[in-house]
Amino acid sequence: MPDIIQLLPDSIANQIAAGEVIQRPASVVKELVENAIDAGSSEIKLIIKNAGKTLIQVIDNGKGMSDTDARMSFERHATSKIRKAEDLFSISTKGFRGEALASIAAIAQVEMITKTHEEELGRRLLVAGSKVTKQEPCQAQGGTTFSVKNLFFNVPARRKFLKSDPVELKHIIEEFKRVALAHPTIFMSMYSNEQEIYHLPAGNYRQRIVSIMGKPVNDRLVPIEQDTEIVTISGFVGKPEAAKKTKGDQYIFVNDRFIKSNYLNHAIRMAYDELIVKEAYPLFFLYITVDPSQIDINVHPTKTEIKFEEERLIYNYVRVAVKHALGSYNVSPTLNFGANTNFGNSVDNKRDFGSVNAEYNLKSSAANRPAGQDNTLEKSNLKAWEQIYAGMHQQSEEQPAETQQMLTVASKISTESGEEISKIEEGKPPYQIHNTYILTHIKSGFLLIDQQAAHERILYEENLASLSSHQKLTQKELFPRTIELDNAKAAIMQDILPKINAMGFEIEDFGGRTYLIHGIPAGLTGSADATVLMERLIDQYVSNMELQLGIEDNLARSLAVSAAIKRGKSMEIPEMKLMIDRLFACEVPYKSPTGRRCIVTMDLDTILKQFLG
Ligand code: ADP
Ligand code: MG
């Protein structure tokens, strides 16, 4: 038999390697921005067209590349960052594998313009499908500009696999945020389809967090500081009340690199203990510094997972650091954490982190909450406000807004298996079990309703109906409430605002990233504060984008999930009756929009059998 094994041509080998490193436009963004950081840039600009499918451009003012380096940089395993095996144990750069540019050049058309700061003239290279097609001298600024066009032009299967523009853009924004949060001293900006999404002047960590997440986050941050032999932990955790129902703003950085770690997430979660409910996700920005020899970053091609030499110790340090921070916040809730967010202040993170010297008081922390002064103040404001509101709206208070809507209530519904359930019109009142399930009679026996799943279903169908009928019922706020969104969410809001309003909100774009809430859907007045409801809605919408639902479906679902009565909430008989009626009016009464079962039936025969033994 003749010999059949051959070495793969470089272009194919690079394409295969690209499969690991470059999964989507966001991966290109990550690699190029990280290279710009490694090049010592103080300014980095990211320009995106069509969620990176048409163009990804990164402009930096870093050290640039010589003629030979420029050409070499596209070779596989070509790197200036390590030279020998031992260097792997002292990595202080983002990159070191020398794969990114080779991979990108294998699956896209790349233009690179680069000039070192000493040179008069720079150079321009064109590369496509791993081949340098042009290299010529050109005028350039000191630094490097990469333009990556037509990503996956020669890998159609991959291109097809890409998600819609909003989803890909969301991934890009996430990568950009991760790098930006880790490098506050670099001025970074991002444009998408000519619109500036981020403008982040150089500053300290807190300033960077605030300019990315929006001003309201400032009051929700509690600084952490823990210095030990093997690890330094700094950064911020969110006050308990800043925790959210959806995963999101949780960032851990190790030596300025964003990492994913369920283990450390768990440590942080444990520190919150009972300060937040079980299902809530706390907010955090944790910066961990360790000796590079104590970690292995090389476990994954995208370098987002790392191994710690002293994993257990670090777990404990993180837990204790967060617990201390939360404890001291409880002792001195009036401390002004919000100071020093003006840009142009000294870029001195240590001082910013160290602004709390309060004593720790861990034992009483859970019991103390939420006795913070600012909190009480907020509460009494709310009370006063509610009183005014109650006076003004007495008429509509007498009758829940929901009942004012026309309900065509069916007396029969069918279950998932097609079994028909008939209501008893004037039966005994429903009964609530464990503040979670509603028990009610039906002709054949009884029905157990999961109050949360059922309410989600009801609201979902009602929201869809308002979206398609353009008939909405709005409950006006006495005073408009303002809400400020971060850039990413504000960009999404632009797209969905008319539809949100079609569901019964009355929200006005106030310019910048600020929105005025004039009213919320009439049926939801009891469910949550208007701004909280809005925040939840947007968070939920963003996290549902992954499901590719279409705007209306996503919105209807997000609002339903955000506003639904939760398990554990006590309900009065009229409320329960109304809920049963509304559920019976649903088209698909047996499943919540997220797929949970809403009803369980038990017929008299089955009950009887139980007793016969
Ligand atoms: P790695 O970052 O792992 O070294 P890359 O393929 O990302 O590998 O880059 C290869 C080399 O190209 C880098 O080691 C660096 O020397 C050079 N390089 C890449 N991007 C830039 C840039 N923006 N400015 C200066 N040099 C760069
Ligand atoms: Mg790199």
258 CA → ligand 2 middle, Å: 15
287 CA → ligand 1 middle, Å: 25
Q: Which stretch of 12-26, 389-403, 485-499, 529-543 has the lowest confidence by average pLDDT? A: 389-403
Ligand 1 contacts CB of residue 176 (under 6 A): no
Ligand 1 binding pocket mutation candidate from 34, 59, 73 (most atoms within 8 A of CB): 73
102 CA → ligand 2 middle, Å: 10
Structure confidence by residue, pLDDT tens digits, 95-135? 887 889 999 999 999 999 999 999 999 999 999 988 999 99
Residue nearest (by alpha carbon) to ligand 1 atom 14: 79
Average pLDDT, the chain: 82
> Within a 10 A sphere around the Cβ of 26, how many other Cβ atoms?
23
Half-sphere exposure of 493 (CA within 13 A, CB side): 24
Query: Is the confidence at residue 353, as pLDDT, over 50?
Result: no
Helix (H, G, I), strand (E, B) or coil at 433: strand
CA distance 261 to 318: 12
CA distance 312 to 406: 60
Ligand 1 contacts CB of residue 39 (under 6 A): yes
CA distance 416 to 315: 46
Residue nearest (by alpha carbon) to ligand 1 atom 16: 80
447 CA → ligand 1 middle, Å: 65
The DSSP code sequence of 297-344 is -TTSTT----EETTHHHHHHHHHHHHHHHHHHHHH-TTS-TT----TT
Of the pLDDT bands very low, low, confident and very high (cuts 50, 70, 90), residue 244 is: confident
Query: Is the confidence at residue 256, as pLDDT, over 90?
Result: yes
Ligand 1 contacts CB of residue 65 (under 6 A): yes
Residue nearest (by alpha carbon) to ligand 1 atom 17: 73
CA 505 to chain centre: 23
Helix (H, G, I), strand (E, B) or coil at 410: coil
CA distance 300 to 184: 25
Max Cα distance, the chain (Å)? 96
Query: Is the confidence at residue 369, as pLDDT, over 80?
Result: no
Beta bridge partners of 46: 58, 190
Query: Which ligand is closest to the CA of 142, given by its number?
Result: 1
Residue nearest (by alpha carbon) to ligand 1 atom 21: 35
Q: Are strands 250-254 and 284-290 parallel, antiparallel or unpaired?
A: parallel
Query: Is the confidence at residue 44, as pLDDT, over 80?
Result: yes
161 CA → ligand 2 middle, Å: 24
Ligand 1 binding pocket mutation candidate from 35, 87, 99, 186 (most atoms within 8 A of CB): 35
Residue 25, classified by CB atoms within 10 Å of its CB into exposed (0-12), middle (13-18) or buried (19+), is: buried
**pTM for the structure as a whole:** 0.62
The predicted structure's pLDDT at residue 559: 93
Tokens in use for 198? 């981020």
Residue nearest (by alpha carbon) to ligand 1 atom 19: 35
The H-or-E segment that residue 146 falls in is strand 143-149
Of the pLDDT bands very low, low, confident and very high (cuts 50, 70, 90), residue 280 is: confident
Contact (CB, 8 A) for 449 and 432: no
Ligand 1 contacts CB of residue 63 (under 6 A): yes
Q: Which of 100, 101, 87 is nearest to 297 (CA)?
A: 87
Query: Is the confidence at residue 20, as pLDDT, over 80?
Result: no
Contact (CB, 8 A) for 585 and 408: yes
Query: Which ligand is closest to the CA of 97, given by its number?
Result: 1
Q: Which of 117, 119, 121 is nearest to 139 (CA)?
A: 121
128 CA → ligand 1 middle, Å: 17
25 CA → ligand 2 middle, Å: 15
Higher-pLDDT residue of 415, 336 = 415
Query: Is the confidence at residue 406, as pLDDT, over 50?
Result: no
149 CA → ligand 2 middle, Å: 18
Establish whether the linkage from the previous residue to 480 is cis, with ω within 30° of 0: no
* Mean pLDDT for the stretch of residues 392-410: 39
Q: Which of 487, 488, 486, 508 is nearest to 497 (CA)?
A: 508
Query: Which ligand is closest to the CA of 36, given by its number?
Result: 1
Q: How far is CA 377 from CA 36, 240, 384, in A?
A: 47, 17, 11
The DSSP code sequence of 197-238 is EEEE-S--HHHHHHHHH-GGGGGGEEEEEEE-SSEEEEEEEE
Residue nearest (by alpha carbon) to ligand 1 atom 2: 95
CA distance 312 to 478: 53
* Mean pLDDT for the stretch of residues 198-203: 95
Crossing angle of helices 100-107 and 25-38, in 10° steps, is 140
158 CA → ligand 2 middle, Å: 22
Higher-pLDDT residue of 611, 251 = 251
Q: Which of 57-66, 212-221, 379-388 has the highest mean pLDDT?
A: 57-66
Ligand 1 binding pocket mutation candidate from 27, 29, 92, 101 (most atoms within 8 A of CB): 101
The predicted structure's pLDDT at residue 525: 65
Structure confidence by residue, pLDDT tens digits, 304-341? 888 888 888 889 889 989 988 888 766 333 333 333 33
Structure confidence by residue, pLDDT tens digits, 531-577? 888 988 998 998 888 788 888 899 999 999 999 988 888 898 988 98
Ligand 1 contacts CB of residue 30 (under 6 A): no
Helix (H, G, I), strand (E, B) or coil at 252: strand
Residue 15, classified by CB atoms within 10 Å of its CB into exposed (0-12), middle (13-18) or buried (19+), is: buried
Q: Which of 450, 401, 428, 400 is nearest to 567 (CA)?
A: 450
Ligand 1 contacts CB of residue 98 (under 6 A): yes
Q: Which of 284, 281, 220 is nearest to 251 (CA)?
A: 284
What are the phi and psi torsion angles at 376 (to 5°)?
A: -60, -40
Ligand 1 contacts CB of residue 78 (under 6 A): yes
Of the pLDDT bands very low, low, confident and very high (cuts 50, 70, 90), residue 26 is: very high
CA distance 356 to 369: 18
* Mean pLDDT for the stretch of residues 380-402: 35
The predicted structure's pLDDT at residue 86: 78
The predicted structure's pLDDT at residue 527: 66
